[in-house]
Structure 1
Amino acid sequence: MATKKQARQPTPKKLAAATWSALSVMAMLGMNTQSAWAQAENDPNKPQRVEITGSSIKRIDAETALPVQIINRESIEKSGVTTAAELLSKVSASTAGLTDGASFSDNGGTQRGFNGANLRGIGVSSTLILLNGRRLANFASPGTSSGVDLNSIPSAAIQRVEVLKDGASAIYGADAIGGVINFITRPDYQGAEISAYVGNTQHGGADKKIVSLSGGIGSLSQDRYNLMGVVNFQNTGGLRSTQRSWIGSAYQPDINLDVGSSNTFPANVRRTTASGGATGSRLNPSAPTCNPPATVFAADSFVGSKACLYDYMHDTEIFPESQRASLLGRAQFAIDADNTLFAEVLHSDTKTTYRISPLTVTNLNYPVTGIYYPNDLITTNKTPLRVGLRLSAAGPRTNEVNAVAQRLIVGAKGTIAGWDYDTALNHSVSKVDDKYVDGYVRTSAFDSAFLTGKINPFGPSGTEGTSLLNAAKISDAARQSRATTDAFDIKASRELFAMAGGNAGLAIGAEYRREKLEFTPSALLAAGEIRGDGAASAYGGSRTVKALFAELNLPILSNLEAQAAVRHDSYNDVGSTTNPKFGLRWTPAKEVVVRGSYSAGFRAPSLADINEPARTGQTSGIYNDPLGCIKTGNIDNTKNPDYCGIQPDLIKGGTANLKPETSKQFSAGIVVEPSRSLTASLDYWRIEKSDTLLANEGAYFSDPKSNPGYAIRGAADPSLPGIPGPILSVDGRVKNIGSLKTSGVDINLNWKLPENSLGKFNVSLNGTYVIDYKTRNTAASPEVNGVGIYTDTQVVQRWRHTLTFDFDRGPWGATLQQTYYQGYHDQNTLADGSTRDVPAYVLWDLSGSYKFSKAFSLRAGIKNLLDTNPPRSNQIYSFIAGYDPSYTDPRGRFVYISGNYSFK
């Protein structure tokens, strides 16, 4: 049970002074231990104890009681991935993460530029990302997902990635519910290296160029120092929907997809009443010819009307343009053979450009006196006309998101008096500037200009109207966010007493962390002067977290080992929590390891979840009202357009007094190694979360009866008996209303075939089978098993795997890799009520390499070898319609070549 508790917190200056005092003591100790240095130099073959993600106790045997997937640099290069986000798409336990395509839509687009990891599909905020075992600041732009931006991870510097597929709250922090992904960089690099990468798609768009420079001097073991640095530059081109012939329409009746917008160009209009409200059916002066291909006749959707329908997929960029530069530097100085001072600096700068369909205008009336009034369409009883306008003349809505991640660490590690220790100060920053650069207008200026009647909602405007529109356009640094994490941590471990299976091990540690978030809107955004975006208020929040933890490793017998850990975290704003973890490792035979674990977790609401004020925007998806977009009136097959293809206002923001999420995790598995060439593992896992934090705009549309409080409606129309009033807005603020139970099995296989005259062959499989994924959106909602079914905001496939075939023969190498996502039931049924199935999505990647010498190598490859298109889907949560961008790749066949040259 969480309890509120206030305490005086040590200041950063006091922490810094304490840390440097400790380092000074260690340095003085090091001056008197030159004999230890000599002894270590004389015993280079002594087995080295290492720390594996999931435990703070160093050990020689890397196989622990926890399931850890290790991906080395060679495997990363063979797979052809160039970013951390691409790498995690090859990890079967990673489900429903935030991708470049999905970030168009997340939280109404307020977290543009954010790529996040999501182990087990239980939420980006429940997966802990570490770089060299320590935290980075969360992505600063506030929204429904809180986590580290994968774009900030310097992929060129990665030596290996350790994926702990088990809860680790007792080791790394209460929020590590879904697991931990630890990106580990090169520890002691010497020499220089340059690498280049260039690739392009077969059908154009989304090209990529990369240059990386690496260098290091000094040997830690011989020179007692090492300095290394990696600089990386990436440039990726954008991809428009019109560059792919397979991109479908927002209106595809054969799969029951009908999310075309009633806000069109030329504009749909309705007559107005004396009070200025809209009445009657929609009309369009260009119907039925409309303005193809983006705007089409709406007869199939709105039978009986003379309206048009806007297909926004023809005006949307489905893959953003980006430029990325990163620097990782590391300095190490060996005081003696046992103690090292170190410092690490990270700077990552990513600029991403998003372009989506033009702005909508729905609350203005075009005057009767306007020079473009449609007199041929409306000949009598003329009134001002309420427009449903797509502001195509202003161009696509374009945002430039500049995300900067920085981290500075100074610390020390080594051995003193039999204790292995590691301590550091960590200052980490995320800064995100979201600039509205095109397609947006200043509300007051545009409204005044439009009411003059000189801006044409039905076609090109004249010179004066064009001037008025251009004068109303803005370029504004609307959103500026900054998140910081300052932390001090120290841990120490040692062997204790002898047991039947060896020496017991103990680790103890402490952490102090201060997190801060600041959001500053521009003057225009604060005043609500950016049309299509509600007024936003500046706000901030901060919290301190203090933690103590301990871990025991107990070799009870020679073949039986236990792990017990406990961590106490105290949050000054949401209370305290103590979380245990227990693990067991049994080796009944040298070829078999049986393992299991149990743990608990606690995830505090993010600072944005608690502190962000309520504000109004638009839903990310276009929806059909389940209680109104139905057959109405006396005309058969008629749908009322006021309830179909709507994109209502979305009330978003945080909620005070939110409770933390709590969790329980269990895993059990077996690892077998019948020979040195074959290793296989099977691990069962189960996670239960309570008081789940949800900010789900689509909850009402998927289950209106269980979620009536989400929709805010206007007055009912007496002419539509039994139909409620139209939806004015949806409440999408964060709430503690959900629960989740999910379980599954991870399967891993690695088979090294005996080397023969043809060469070396290796086959590996990394797969996840999800048994169930049961959720509730509210306490009153029925429990829904979402495995293999698109529910609410995501799909969790029953089975996902990555299958890799490697071949090596002398300087030659080749890799063929399959990534497989099983099919599932689509979000919506077909028109006749039957289930629609989305087929499996299977990608094949092929690469080959040749080493000309130890210094120079080339690699060429084809990603998506068979040019497989994403399967069609009628999901309507994502702004991108016709397929699901959360796990698919719209680029198609992609050909690349890379080269690497080392100077040593």
Structure 2
Amino acid sequence: MYRPTLTRAVRAALGGSLTGTGAAATAILGCTALPAMAQSPAPSDSSDKLETIVVTGTHIRRVDMETSSPVFVIDKSQIEKTGKLTVGDLLQQTPAIAGGATASNPQVNNGGGNGASTIDLRGLGPARTLILVNGRRLTGPSPDVNAIPINLVERVEVLKDGASAVYGSDAIGGVVNFILRRDYQGAEVAVDYGVSGKDDAARHGVSMTLGHTSDRGSILVGANYNKQEEALAVDRDFAKDALYLSSGVASPAGSSRTPRGRIVLPDAMLATFGCTNASNGGSVTRIPGAAGDSLDDYRCFRGADDAYNFQAVANRVMTPQERASLFIVGNYRLTDSVEAYLEAFHNKTSSSSAIAPLPFDARTDNVLISADNVYNPFDIDFGRNGDNDTGRNLLLRLESLGNRRTGFGVSTDQLNMGLRGGFGDSSWQWDASFTYGHFSQVSSNSGFLYRPGLQAALGPSYIDSAGVAHCGTPDATIAGCIPINPFNPSLTPEGFQSLSAQFKNTTTLIQREAEFNANGELFELPAGVASLAVGASYRKEYQNFAPSFLNTAIGPDYTSCYLANETCTSPIVGDFDVKEAYAEVFLPVLRDVAFAQSLNVTIGTRFSRYSTFGNATNSKIGFEWRPVEDVLVRGTIAEVFRAPTISNLFAAPASNSPTFQDPCIGLDVPVGVNANIDRACQFVPRDGSFGGPLNGQTTGLVTGNAHLQPESGKAFTWGVVYDPNWLDGLSTSMDVWRFALNDNITALDVNTIAQQCYTSGNLCEFIHRFAADGQVFYIDQPTLNLGRIDTKGVDLGVKYRLPETAFGNFRFGVDATYTAQYNQTIFDQSGRPTGVIYGAGHFNRQIGNFARWRGLGSVSWDKGNWDASWTMRYVGGFRLGSLRPDGDSADGTFKNVVVDYGARTYHNLQAGYTIEPINTRIDVGVDNVFDKKPPILYQNNVVNANTDPVTFDTVGRYFFARVSVKF
């Protein structure tokens, strides 16, 4: 029978570099079988053991390593040589990853800090990349790959194709499958250490693995511990100042919420200070060192000169985290044909984030500062109390409360257990399994104020005959209340401290799944044996998000709670179950004929019944054609879908603070000229004086939707793999891909809503403005099935192993992805397209970074006990901003401003030596050798370190060392 693929796979394994072209290229050295995705038992015949494998992307057991779907492989030795303590750090460098505006990694501080790393294949979002462990779903609301113990991983297979017909929901952009170690004999201990060139961000790690294997089975146990220390933004030149691009000028500025306050007064009063009017940003601030009890203590606010540099206070470019894991993997042959197996791991992560002290906004926080407050020198009310909006405001930074801090305690437990075996002497094998997953997260938050008490402390007050200030009036004193001075908080620190509040949020997710799979040969065809895989499963998921009563949002508008509005959220409780069945058939069509040494077709379908929305059926067809021995032409057409999550369905209103550019800035169009503008800019002054939000952010109100339907679409891949016999060691591949996804489940972006309303009159009902001056109060962000994503591009791969020389062995590898298109189409609620976000070649604050080219190259060398490698990660140039009328502007004030950025290349070096007499290996290395700085994207476009921490390195040059000993 014709089996050239096996030889080619062995050749590719011998010439492997940092990445793999074939799904199993790096796993068959020494003629050992690949552990199957479903972990089927190996037959007793050693020859069959070599020929029957299952690779990620199919349930069919086959001899061929290269199937119709492209798979990227990272094996254990490659992971160890990078010096990384978590797999997530390595995977996020994969060229097929893009986007990531909200994706997690330890460099994300504002909006992150939970220690998680998520994977965003094709830039379709982490929710559209399925994470598996030995073919079974990893537990978590957005699965964190760092939860998987790194010393438990044998290799990682990244399927870069839609696979809903194989795995069900979420497998749209691709699948990341972690294959666990097994059949290990012995013990090993490894110690890691790393530190940046700035002498911070130190990391420490230790791992231990023990294994025993016998004729009846094997057991593998282990533990690891690692700790990553913080790096502060103030210690990096690119991040130490809050940089803004505004009115065509890039300069350090910051927040309008300052310790000395920004006070918005009536225009007539502003005129006495010589300030511009309030609608044009005019306001006053307390003079440095002044007490603030007299109008003489105030002057005009001077914009950037008086702004608060929050970057220098607390922000981090690397968040601290501490992680410990335990695991056990075992299998035991009960009979000659039945084997029991167990895979279990526990991971606990402690991490934190810290941002600047609490900003206070009297209007947004729904607090009224009374004219009768003894510390109010202006003798007028400020802020708002429900419908009583004064139109005047005080913006303040409450330094006396300290930084806002969030500490995360995350625990992930996963148990996979089952039985597997064969049906007599036939080729058929079966697997019956049960999976239990438990995820819990507790976030502890400090640095906030109890708002009801704040209202009393800022209300009317008086000073008694003894000179003591009291809340209320002499006839109605408020017991237990200490008046506070919002115009000079340093004078009443005890009042602010008495209102200091902490709160906790708790998230729990439980997943249970029972599954049965079977696969084997059907019948003989002239071109080979037809095979079939079938299976069925039942999965139930439950989620409970429980906020503290202090930060539970209060109706009717749900923008406020007992703390600052940025903390306000709502409980989420819900569950769903899904019953699924699949079938996949492999049909060899031609073999050993002219122009077809082989032609195979794979057809699969999967039926899903969800308790939340109903049924879904997704199918695929794939082909593999070898016109000649050295060339494989492959392709798939697959239907894909994503079911709405519990959060999508059941989330009650919750506030956030997204970056926002008001399209009504500088508006000078008279009322009545354009109906769309009239709706979008209700209450906004029309004399060109409107300046938009004072801090470049607004309040969004995100809600779930119990009536959501699943996303659905199609994924297409066509590719060629060329492994020439005339040049041993060379393997090349090219795959063209395209994804089209409809009915996107998304919480509408505030900028999209505002732009759509302004240009087309669509979605205007979600915008709420203050009647007094037109500033945005809040913008509803409902979760809807609105939108479409179209993306396409090309993956390229080249691997080459030089013939052995007197100087050693050399290997070269390049993997690259070109994104030709990423269009996100916006629809109105009637299903009409109203606008498009063009992502390819751009950074967009909503969808992230889509540099057209991303690449990963490597050069490796070994001779005797020595080895070394040089790895290059390339991120191509991109554009910030758009020239389109409805597009984002790179400038915080001017419209249609674009900034172009060049490419970034990061160089990493590693060297290792094996001391054979004592079974010890030493690795040392340097990441980001040339200390390449990230591009400056400005705080009016990003919320972390003036840059995109998901795409670029924020820590800088980094040194690491690793010592491992085997016993």
1:733 CA drift (Å)? 2.6
Q: Retained in 2: the 8 A contact 1:624–1:644?
A: no
Q: Deviations over 1:632-684 (max 9, x none)?
A: 99x99986455443432211121221121101111100000113300000000
Task: Give the residue type in structure 1 aligned to 2:430.
Answer: Y
Aligned counterpart for 2:937 among listed residues 845, 859, 873: 873
Q: Does the 8 Å CA contact 2:164/2:606 hold for their aligned counterparts?
A: yes
1:735 to 758, 761, 784: 784
Shift of 1:535: 4.4
How far apart in 1 are the matches of 2:779 and 2:173?
A: 30
Asked whether the 8 Å contact 2:855–2:874 carries over to 1, the reply is: yes
Residue 447 (structure 1) aligned with residue 455 (structure 2): yes
Equivalent position to 1:645, from 671, 677, 695: 695
Residue 642 and residue 56 in structure 1: after superposition, are their counterparts in 2 closer, same or farther (change >3 A)? closer
Percent identity of paired positions between Structure 1 and Structure 2: 27
- Distance change >3 Å, CA 415–CA 629, structure 1 → 2: farther
Corresponding residue number in structure 2 for 1:808: 862
Aligned-pair CA distance for 1:505: 0.7
Aligned match of 2:126 in 120, 124, 127? 124
1:681 maps to 2:694: no
Query: Does the 8 A contact of 1:297 with 1:308 survive in 2?
Result: no
Residue of structure 1 equivalent to 2:99: 96
Give the equivalent residue in structure 2 for 1:774.
823
Counterpart check, 1:82 vs 2:85:
yes
Task: Point out the more displaced range, 561-570 or 314-323.
Answer: 314-323
Give the aligned partner of residue 664 of structure 2.
627
Instruction: Mark the CA change 1:641 to 1:133 in structure 2 (over 3 Å): closer, same or farther.
Output: same
* Cα deviation 1:29-52 (Å, max 9, x = unaligned): xxxxxxxxxx97675786341110
**Change beyond 3 A, Cα 1:851–1:209:** same
**TM-aligned CA deviation for residue 297 of structure 1:** 9.1
- Which segment drifts farther, 700-709 or 389-398? 700-709
1:788 offset after TM fit, Å? 0.5
State the partner residue of 2:901.
838
The answer to whether the aligner puts 1:518 opposite 2:547 as a matched pair is no
- Partner SS for 1:137: coil
Partner Cα distance (2:204, 2:106) in 1: 19
Q: 2:189 aligns with which of 173, 187, 194?
A: 194
- Counterpart in 2 of 1:355? 354
- 1:530 is displaced (CA, Å) by 2.4
- Relative distance call for 1:136 and 1:43 in structure 2 (3 A) is closer
Structure 1 position 445, deviation (Å):
2.7
Contact persistence 1:289–1:297 (CA under 8 A): no
1:88 to partner: Cα distance = 1.5
In the aligned structure 2, how far is the partner of 1:512 from the partner of 1:481? 23
* Aligned-pair Cα RMSD in Å: 3.0
Q: Is 1:404 aligned to residue 467 of structure 2?
A: no
2:539 is equivalent to residue 547 of structure 1: no
Q: Which amino acid in structure 1 is aligned with residue 229 of structure 2?
A: G
Provide the residue aligned with 2:673 in structure 1: none
What secondary structure does 2:448 align onto?
coil
Q: Which residue is equivalent to 1:71? A: 74
* Residue of structure 2 aligned with 1:859, choices 923, 928, 942: 923
The one-letter amino acid of 1:893's match is R
DSSP 3-state at the match of 1:782: strand
Q: Structure 1: which 5+ residue stretches go unaligned?
A: 1-38, 140-146, 302-306, 719-724
Cα shift readout 1:531-575 (whole Å, capped 9, x = no counterpart): 234544433111111111001111111211110101101111111
Corresponding residue SS for 1:658? coil
Aligned 8 A contact 1:699 1:710 in 2: no
Whole-Å separation in 1 of the counterparts to 2:734 and 2:652? 46
Whole-angstrom CA distance in 1 between matches of 2:854 and 2:291 = 44
Asked whether the 8 Å contact 2:92–2:119 carries over to 1, the reply is: no
Over 3 Å counting, the alpha-carbon distance change for 1:524 and 1:343 in structure 2 is: same
Q: Which amino acid aligns with 2:542?
A: K
CA distance in 1, matches of 2:45, 2:126: 48
Aligned equivalent of 1:469:
496
Mapping of 1:460-539 within 5 angstroms? 461-462=490-491, 465-477=492-504, 479-526=505-552, 528-533=561-566, 535-539=568-572
1:87-121 deviation digits (Å, cap 9, x = unpaired):
21221111224133675455xx6x95443111111
- Alpha-carbon deviation of 1:265? 1.2
Task: Note closer, same or farther for the CA distance 1:765–1:288 as it changes in structure 2 (3 Å cut).
Answer: farther
One-letter amino acid matched to 2:861: F
- Distance 1:740-1:185 versus aligned 2 partners, 3 A rule: same
User: Partner of 2:912: helix, strand, or coil?
Assistant: strand
Is the CA contact (8 Å cut-off) linking 1:840 and 1:871 kept in structure 2?
no
- Kept in 2, the 8 Å contact 1:40–1:337? The answer is no
The answer for the alignment partner of 1:19 in structure 2 is none
* Equivalences for residues 756-771 of structure 1 within 5 A: 756-771=805-820
Counterparts in 2 of 1:120 and 1:407: CA distance versus 1, 3 Å: same
Q: In structure 1, which of residues 572, 575, 578 is the aligned counterpart of residue 614 of structure 2?
A: 575
Report the count of equivalent residues: 822
Aligned-partner residue type, residue 214 of structure 1 = T
Q: Secondary structure at the match of 2:607?
A: strand
Return the letter of the residue paired with 1:508: V
Distance 1:555 1:382, change over 3 A: closer
Moved more, 504-513 or 225-234: 225-234
TM-superposition CA deviations, 1:431-475 (whole Å, max 9, x none)? 111111x3122222333334458534455624xx22222222123
Matches of 1:371 and 1:841 in 2, distance apart? 57
For residue 429 of structure 1, report the CA deviation from its aligned partner: 1.1
Greater shift after overlay, 332-341 or 569-578?
332-341
Gap change, CA 1:731 and 1:318, over 3 Å in 2: farther
Task: Quote the Cα distance in structure 1 between the aligned partners of 2:785 and 2:574.
Answer: 19
448-457 or 67-76, larger mean C-alpha shift = 448-457
In 1, the alpha carbon distance for the partners of 2:140 and 2:49 equals 40
Give CA deviations for 1:825-881 in whole Å, capped at 9, x if unaligned.
113345585521122222111111010117200001111110011111136454225
Residue identity opposite 2:601 in structure 1: A
Aligned position for 1:133: 135
- Give the structure 2 partner of residue 655 of structure 1: 705
TM-score computed with the length of structure 1 as normaliser? 0.86
Deviation at 1:330, TM superposition (A): 1.1
Q: Which residue number corresponds to residue 594 of structure 1?
A: 633
Unaligned runs of 5+ in 2: 1-41, 269-276, 293-298, 383-391, 462-468, 470-482, 555-560, 592-597, 671-684, 882-888
SS in 1 for 2:357: coil
Q: What are the equivalent positions in structure 2 for 1:890-901 lying under 5 Å apart?
A: 890-901=954-965
Is 1:389 the counterpart of 2:431? The answer is no
Q: Which amino acid aligns with 2:807?
A: L
Distance in 2 (alpha carbons) for counterparts of 1:460 and 1:579? 61
Shift of 1:801: 0.5
**How far apart, CA to CA, are the structure 2 residues paired with 1:162 and 1:290?**
64
**What's the TM-score, normalizing by structure 2?**
0.80
